[in-house]
Structure 1
Amino acid sequence: MEKIFRSLLFKVCCGIAFGISIGLAAPENIMRLLITFKTLFANFLGFSIPLIMMGLIMPSIAELGKSAGKLLLITVGIAYSFTLFSGFSTYLVGESLFPTLLQGEQLSNIGKDAEAIRPFFTIEMPPITDVMTSLVLSFIIGIGLSVREESTLSQMIKEFGEIVKWLISKAIIPLLPYYILTIFAEISYSGQVMAIMTVFFKLIIILFAMHIVLLLIQYLIAGSIAGKNPFRSLLTMLPAYATALGTQSSAATIPVTLRQAQKLGISSKIAGFVIPLCATIHLSGSTMKITACALALMMLEGMPYDFMLFAGFVMMLGVIMVAAPGVPGGAIMAALGVLNSMLGFDERTQGLMVALYIAMDSFGTACNVTGDGAVALIVNRISKIKD
């Protein structure tokens, strides 16, 4: 029970519930206080996003390059292919189902009634650079360091990455439930809370079903290549799925995932390399959640979109996911930059994305780590390395 109460999902659910209650009954001064916090945190988050992207991407690319080899390239290629398949299939399914699923729902006016309430004060925190500049710079420095021997700059970048991970886990993630509380208080104050909650529940149900289908497809592919029974292999990986539901962390689930992967008959050398690596680079479940939630919110907001826009977004998202830290909420933190720069998400829609993502974080993480077994099966068959 203590783990449940301390989990990010429980805190976010409490934030949503308290936010709705406060928005329905709070006087204007309380709302002004909440909106003051919301504005300050949103400004801080906007300032942090370029730092987060640079601090995660630069050391990740540098470390991948230093261990470059045939096995690494195979693993990265398979993981990225699975991630792309997840993103594109999610878009195609969402474009087919969401118009009917979300028919009659509209979020474009949410928060309009609360806009008249001004914060007590605000502090501008302009980011040091824009998102695309930080992304390009991260690739240049990361790739440059990957072809060099250990240097002073490499150590500095690594330490910078550790500071950014600390910023995410100790400052941003703990404040997210309060930020979400203020968002839902604002929505509730505008009198449209039922619309957004209806959307939440519909998306959670359909995404859970899509996660199961994705895992079946991954194991059918892996089973056909490795000559294994896909259903038996998937059942073998279920302890990792269950563990990830509780931890909400790919990194924390590595010991269980590794044990179950070896039960599939995968070489301990392959499993010991692929499973820890995939905990970082293979996030098919997270990509599915982000793509589906982004598409649904754009439909509800009346924002223009097409296949080409999402094609670029999914391909970039697959790269960004490589840098996502294996902590609860890490993937959505890494993705906020491209949501803003490529899809045009503002402060409010980013906040809704965070709330939607974390509400389903356990299922996405479980999908990620369970799919790692499928990647390991394919790599084991291609490499033919034995213990």
Structure 2
Amino acid sequence: MRGVQGLLSGLLLLGAGGLAAAGGCGGGGEHGCAEDLVCEIVNDDGTSNGHCWGRCVPEPPEGLPAPELVWTGAELLAPSCDDLVWVVPGTAGEVVQLASEPAAFRGRTLPSDAHACPACACTSPSCALPSDVTASSLYMCGEGSEETRTPFAPPAGWDGACVSPGWVGSEQLGSLAIGPTRKQPCAPVVEEAPVPRDAPAVEVAVACRGRLVHDLCAQPRQLCMLYQQQDHLPDGWRHCRRLPGDDVPCEAPAAPGSPWPTYSEKLGVFYAEVNDTRDCTPCTCKAVEEGRCEAFVSAYEDRACSDTLVGISVPEVGICVDPAPGSTLGSLSATWLVNEPGRCTPEGGVNVGELKGEKAETICCLLGER
């Protein structure tokens, strides 16, 4: 383990800026690699990464952001920087997880800018016949301790045809209360907008700082990125750079045959903050023409609507009527005098709010990595 400990100590110092004087294994620098570790890395195509255990990546121009390790994908699958490990070279594959660090950046793409609101409509208003009919033992529908009330209500949705809700004897029939005709208002009808099938899925980006070291790569103007697994990155990770802004071009692709790769593949624009306050105003119905409803209700002594007791016009506030003394109540019928329920128009279903992304970063990666 002496070699492993020595290498880790050297990495920490390199990561903090304590660069080996000659750099790389056997370089003779003050913080060079331990001599018993194998540092020379040969790629599958026979090329060498020099003394870099990891990948040599292009050094950005001075003053521009340094390369990082970036993962993009569905939010539910997003890893953390702790998922990146480093395999110590020259050992039997010993894995060391570097000190936990928070992500340098975590952002998301904007959801689809298509935001459809539902279509709003209204049911038609209507007039409804009285639903509350009650016999009182007192005259003029009076109230008192001696009063008895006998419900005689027609069925729900009564259309005025002859009905016999029961039987009221003469001793219980001093007066008859007939409830109001009613205006059934318009009701909103909401037709939800279809969900677009081709809406792009929201992706997240997780960017982690690697250990970047100078002078460990065979080619000039390259940095050795040490913060990775043995000879490859875990699935989904890329070597990338983040450029502030949402309208920033990536580098031009490298010329054919050039040994200098560029960060030319644009993964997209990701935002550290996404504020989506989009909504739709609720569907409502506005009366544009007032309605009038008035019915003529007839009460009968028998149960077949043939022996008329009373017949009276019933307005929208209801009415009380006194039949002749000694009468009985056995059936009801009704017809419309005025059936003009009015008219309404739908309102609502209007887009409000906005979709806004802040702290945008454009992510550009080395071409061909997956």
Query: Shared fold (TM-score greater than 0.5)?
Result: no
Scaled by the length of structure 2, the TM-score of the pair is 0.18
More helix by share: 1
More strand by share: 2
Scaled by the length of structure 1, the TM-score of the pair is 0.17
Higher-Rg structure is: 2
